[in-house]
Copies of this chain bind each other. A is one copy, B any other.
Amino acid sequence: MTSLDFSGISTAVDQPETKLTVADDAYRKLRVLILQGTLQPGQKLKFEVLQQELGLSASSLREAFMKLVNEGLVQLAQRRGFSVAPISIEELKDITRLRKILEPLALRDAIEHGDDAWEAQILATWHRFSKIDTAQSDAPGILDDQWSYWHRAFHESLVAACPSKKTMQFRAVLFEQSERYRALSAARRTKPRKKSDEHRKLMEAVLARDSDKAEALMIKHMALTSNFLANVLDATQDSGKDN
């Protein structure tokens, strides 16, 4: 493993709030590296190497690993160390199946409970996201850090008014787990896809408090990446088996 590049990682975009813990900091950095694919599926995560890269002790690094294990991004083999969780069509389908249930659930809740501040936040976030999205859509095959951040922020803003903690938590985990597949999807795409349109329509349905339409659009939106990748990966799976 050659030295990793952290320069483009926007951990700081989040609220700086309370000073981050060392392990938390490492967790965020590692998460980005995994979602980006810099640390590839199946790859072994060695303490010595990453300790040096990130500059922390074994126990703190272990804590960061553990957090990633709980999010399904890292695998732990008892006493045999950690490795980046593998990806597979089956997992993507599994994730998507649940997302098709939980995202609409959260969305309906949010539409029911959302207030003016919620609406305003959606608009504000969409503004930021759409700028990056349109700029980005010219260059297919790249899924950069900023796009990912605002894409997530946008989707989160839509459901932010959902009062169910557990629903939000599970939804967030699944959204996160989908990220690697989105990146993969972007990498395989040849022609640009007008995503901002999908997102705008979805937002409009939500702001119009049209639950049925919002649900339909959301499900359609999720299915797109999933189906596209299922096709692409199915074709590639046998030939390009790396790690």
Q: Which residues of A contact B (CB under 8 A)?
A: 18-19, 21, 59, 62-63, 66-67, 70, 72, 78-79, 91, 94-95, 97-98, 101, 105, 164-167, 170, 174
Contact = CB atoms under 8 A, between A and B. Distances in A.
Contacts of A97: 164, 166-167
B166 A21 contact: no
Given A18-B79, A62-B63, A79-B18, A94 B170 contact: no
Contact of A174 (B91, B164, B166): B166
Given A98-B170, A166-B174, 9 more contacts: A18-B79, A59-B62, A62-B63, A66-B67, A70-B70, A94-B165, A94-B166, A98-B167, A170-B170
A166 B18 contact: no
A79 to B, nearest CB: 7
The binding surface of chain A is classed by DSSP as helix
This chain: copies in complex = 2
A94 B164 contact: yes
Contacts of A164: 94, 97-98
Given A59-B59, A101-B101, A21 B79 contact: yes
Contacts of A70: 67, 70
A166 B98 contact: yes
Contacts of A19: 79
Nearest to A98: B166
Contacts of A78: 18, 21
A103 to B, nearest CB: 13
A110 to B, nearest CB: 15
A41 to B, nearest CB: 16
20 contacts: A21-B78, A21-B79, A59-B59, A62-B63, A63-B63, A63-B66, A66-B66, A70-B70, A72-B166, A94-B165, A94-B166, A97-B164, A97-B166, A97-B167, A98-B164, A98-B167, A101-B101, A101-B105, A166-B174, A170-B170
Contacts of A165: 91, 94
Nearest to A80: B18
Contacts of A63: 59, 62-63, 66
A225 to B, nearest CB: 17
A97 to B, nearest CB: 7
